[in-house]
Amino acid sequence: MGGVCSRKRDQPVSEENPRRSGVSGRYSKSGSSKWLGNSLSRAAIDLQQGRGNCPLLMELCVRKIREDISKYKSFAMLPRDLSQQIFSELVRSHCLTDASLHVFHDCALQDVHVGEYPGVKDGWMGVISSQGQSLLSLDISGSDVTDSGLALLKDCPNLQNLCLNYCEQISNRGLEHTSGLLNLTCLSFKKSNAISAEGMKAFASLVNLVKLDLERCTGIHGGLTHLKGLSKLESLNVRCCNCITDADMKPLSGLTNLKELHVSCNKITDSGVACFRGFHKLALLNLEGCPVTAACLESISGRLGLLYLNLNRCGLSDDGCEKFAGLVNLKILNLGFNNITDACLVHLKGLTKLESLNLDSCRVGDEGMSNLAGLLHLRTLVLSDTGVGSSGLQHLSGLARLESINLSFTLVSDNGVRRLSGLTSLKSLNLDARQITDSGLAVLTTLTGLTHLDLFGARITDFGTNYLRNFKNLQSLEICGGSISDTGVKNIKELTSLTLLNISQNCLLTDKTLELISGLTGLVSLNISNSRVTNAGLHHLKPLKNLRSLSLESCKVTATEIKKLQLSALPNLVSVRPE
């Protein structure tokens, strides 16, 4: 909890995972695999805590105190690092309640991270503010705390980090109470729709602010002018506010320490970007979904510090794209969903430090690929929904560091896929295209490091599954072309590293498949929808104790039987189809 406002400083620019910002969930394929990104990481942490070696005496004591918490009256006499450990354990285990909270009155806690914790309300603020000058970091995101609860924070003048994301009860009046927190370096107010320009006056006094997050605050047009004097500000996020205009950018032009600026999904045009001219330290600029043209590059051209540039869905054309050539230190460039053609790619030729390039759904083709041949640091390349075909791939065969390539819905054929066979660094390969068949897979058996393989719509048959045996490290596999039968699954059952398996749309699969995969105990997500699986086969899934998502739509399976299985054998299952 409180991930946004961690007290660690000097963190490098957060380079967003470019794969995330693309189009996830575009096809209604295994919906499950999309949310797994979040929930999986949490599951992994829980597991780590469960295992471990011999518990420390310290841990045993903390656990014991948690069990007996109702017997304690106060921890105020404990050294604060110990009461802090008890507090964190109670939060982690969801054992902190209205009743137990009072034992922490006056404990000199430094961190109170109860973001998204159930039941946090004004009544909690008394105990929280009693930490007084000790309190450095507070996260009450998603709570019911109101303006009057926030008023109590005047007792905590040393607060450095304050996270108030998704607090619907906090309005402009509540903001006034933050204006005295002069030590704040990090303030986060995501999705606070009650905040307007008027309330943002309070920010003007927060001269030590380094990081301000106002993502999805839809009423803050006109308020950024109060940030004018915050000369220490390094990171500003007004992503998806949908109300920020060029006029809002003008007052920011003096904030020359800005390193990260997220203004995506707003009404910023080229003239708004012109206000960024003075941002010489800018390392990250996110303009996704803003109505800018390539002419805006003029304002940021020659920014040697710029590492990350997101221009996804901006409607760029080739005009003005020559300015890309000056951004020679760029590591991550997202140009997805623009009207750019091969003519633009010429100007990317010299960006040899690029590690990630997204050209999703751009009008680029084989010819343009020759400009990417020298980008030897590329690790991630997205070419889905482009005109790239087999002859384009020949230019990419020297990108030895490539770890992830997305060729879904391209024109690449079995023959062209051969060009990828030398890219042995590849870990993730998306070949979701109808024209790919068994013979395409046959030439890729050298890619033994693959951990993710997406052959969703490819026409792979049972014969082709023999080649899958080479990919022993596969963690996720989607193979849904319709031609796989139980025979093919025999080859899949050897892939014991799998955590995600989608073999839906293969209507030949029977209960025998469930029996075959019952040894894949690492599976977290399984989709065998549109098959001949029946209730009678469900018991084979009992060994899959890690399963969190199970989809068996359009099978002869009933929700009641799945529920029974869930209750009797699969405690981790959280997402089930049919419900």
Q: Which is nearer to other proteins, 61 or 376 (CB)?
A: 61
Cβ-contact 379, 357 below 8 angstroms: no
Query: How many whole angstroms separate alpha carbon 382 and alpha carbon 369?
Result: 12
> Binding to other proteins by residue 81, rule CB under 8 A?
yes
Q: Write down the least CB distance from residue 68 to other proteins, Å.
A: 5
Q: Write down the least CB distance from residue 138 to other proteins, Å.
A: 25
Q: Write down the least CB distance from residue 76 to other proteins, Å.
A: 12
Q: Which two tokens stand for residue 494?
A: 């050897």
CA atoms within 13 A on the CB side of 575: 18
Q: Which is nearer to other proteins, 83 or 171 (CB)?
A: 83
Burial 452-487 (b: 16+ CB within 10 A, else e): bbbbbbbbbbbbbbbbbeebeebbbbbbbbebbbbe
Considering only 76-84, 90-98, 461-469, 512-520, which stretch makes contact with other proteins by CB under 8 A?
Answer: 76-84
Binding positions for other proteins, 34-63, rule CB under 8 A: 53-54, 56-58, 60-62
Cβ-contact 534, 555 below 8 angstroms: yes
Choice from 3, 25, 79, 302 touching other proteins (CB under 8 A) = 79
Q: Write down the least CB distance from residue 71 to other proteins, Å.
A: 6
* Total residues belonging to the chain: 579
Q: What are the φ/ψ torsions at residue 225 (nearest 5 degrees)?
A: -60, -25
Binding positions for other proteins, 511-570, rule CB under 8 A: none
Choice from 1, 36, 65, 145 touching other proteins (CB under 8 A) = 65
Cα 284 to Cα 26, 297, 332: the distances in Å are 26, 14, 9
Q: Which is nearer to other proteins, 54 or 99 (CB)?
A: 54
Size of the site for other proteins (CB under 8 A): 16
> Binding to other proteins by residue 68, rule CB under 8 A?
yes
Binding letters toward other proteins, positions 82-111, x by CB under 8 A: x-----------------------------
Q: Which is nearer to other proteins, 69 or 555 (CB)?
A: 69
Q: Which is nearer to other proteins, 3 or 55 (CB)?
A: 55
Cβ-contact 306, 281 below 8 angstroms: no
Helices (H), 200-253: 246-249
Cβ-contact 471, 494 below 8 angstroms: no
SS3 105: coil
> Binding to other proteins by residue 70, rule CB under 8 A?
no
Choice from 8, 42, 51, 71 touching other proteins (CB under 8 A) = 71
Q: Which two tokens stand for residue 96?
A: 């902190």
Q: Which is nearer to other proteins, 95 or 567 (CB)?
A: 95
Residue by residue, DSSP assigns 241-264 as -S--BHHHHGGGGG-TT--EEE--
Q: Write down the least CB distance from residue 89 to other proteins, Å.
A: 11
Q: Which is nearer to other proteins, 89 or 298 (CB)?
A: 89
Binding site for other proteins (CB under 8 A): 53-54, 56-58, 60-62, 64-65, 68, 71, 78-79, 81-82
